[in-house]
Structures are given as C-alpha cells and as structure tokens.
Amino acid sequence: MKPIHLATLAVATSTACSAFATQYLTVEQAQQVMFPDATAFKDANLQLSVEQMRQVEKLAGEPARSASWRVFAAYKGEAQLGYVVLDDVVGKFELISYAVALNPDASIKQIEILAYRESHGFEIKSPAWRKQFVGKTASSGLSIGDGISSISGATLSCTHVTDGVRRIAAIAQVMLKK
C-alpha cells in the first residue's frame, strides 16, 4: 500500500470516529434556556472541603469525584434565581457534557445536554427523559428505576448522567441550599 493511501485512511478513520459528536448548546445558551428571566450570571465556583466531599458521597451514594465544581449563580437584578452547575460524565466511551439548573432550595429546575459524543444513546437529549429530573432533590428518586426511567439503547448514558445529576443535587444540598 502506498503511503498516501495510509494517510488518507488515517484521516478517514479519525473523521469517522468523531462524526457522532454533537454540540447542542454552549454554556451561555444553556444558561439562557434554563433561566430565561436572568439578567446576569456570576461565577460561583465551588471548592469542597474533605468533610463536604464526605457529606456529598453519603447523600449521593457516589464518590464526590472532585473538590472543584464550575458553578454560575443566576440573577434577575439583585434577586438570585438559582444556580447552573456544569459537569461531564463518561457515556460508554466518550464524555457527555451537561448542565443542571438548581432552584435556591437545591431542587432540580432543569437539565440540558450540552454535547454528546457517543454513536448511540443520544435519546437522553429528549425533553421527556430530561423532564423526569425536575423538582427532585438529592434524597428524592434520583436513580434509574427509582424516579428515573432508562432508555433502551442508551442505558449507560442514562445511568451515568443520572448518577452525575444525583451527585450535583447532593452538592447543592451541602453547599448551595438556601
């Protein structure tokens, strides 16, 4: 085989592998979708202490995974509307980027899928599946089979996003609840 053919094959293969990646929303777009009345979003990044990480793990039933979390507080004038927390979880092989909007009481307002990079399981983007999270807290039905249904063909994506949202709900309970 000539070297030019190998280079062409390498380019075709790398293109085919990334052809499934879809960027649905930027962070700024997600903020506006989740808090349409907001006039400002301010950095409110969190740094969890060791004790807070233990509390999160206990509430979520999952490792806290990180002490640092990217968070934005949503405001309408001087009134705080809630928070937007950004996270990534592994689907089957690739990262799923998503955002969770939280009310001031630490309940889930909304979730949005920002980017999906897997070849299967993109159905988690459906409004019907994401709507299952609305109103839930760290202690109320945030598990597959207990308040959240799975989607056939997207089992790992559903499970991992649900676990991530439960972790964020626990962080909200520990760090953000008013």
- At 141 the pLDDT is 87
Using DSSP, state whether 96 is helix, strand or coil: strand
**Cβ–Cβ < 8 Å for 110, 81:** no
Residue 151 CB burial class (10 angstroms; 0-12, 13-18, ≥19): middle
- At 19 the pLDDT is 47
Amino acid at 143: S
Q: With CA atoms as reference, report the closest residue to 106 among 174, 163, 42.
A: 174
Could you read off the pLDDT of 35-69 as tens digits, one per residue?
999 999 999 999 999 999 999 999 999 899 999 99
Q: Which two tokens stand for residue 171?
A: 């962080």
H or E element in which residue 6 lies: helix 3-18
SS3 for 120-146 is CCHHHHCHHHHHCCCCCCCCCCCEECE
Mean pLDDT of 75-80: 97
Q: Are strands 143-144 and 147-148 parallel, antiparallel or unpaired?
A: parallel
Amino acid at 5: H
Give domain limits for the chain. Answer: 21-176
Could you read off the pLDDT of 104-159 as tens digits, one per residue?
999 999 999 999 998 888 899 999 999 999 999 998 989 999 999 999 989 999 99
What is the pTM (predicted TM-score) of this model?
Answer: 0.87
Q: Is the per-residue pLDDT at 94 higher than 60? A: yes
Mean pLDDT of 83-98: 95
Angle at 162 between CA 157 and CA 165, to 5 degrees: 125
**Cβ–Cβ < 8 Å for 104, 80:** yes
- At 110 the pLDDT is 98
Q: Is the per-residue pLDDT at 70 higher than 50? A: yes
Q: Is the per-residue pLDDT at 29 higher than 60? A: yes
Mean pLDDT of 79-89: 98
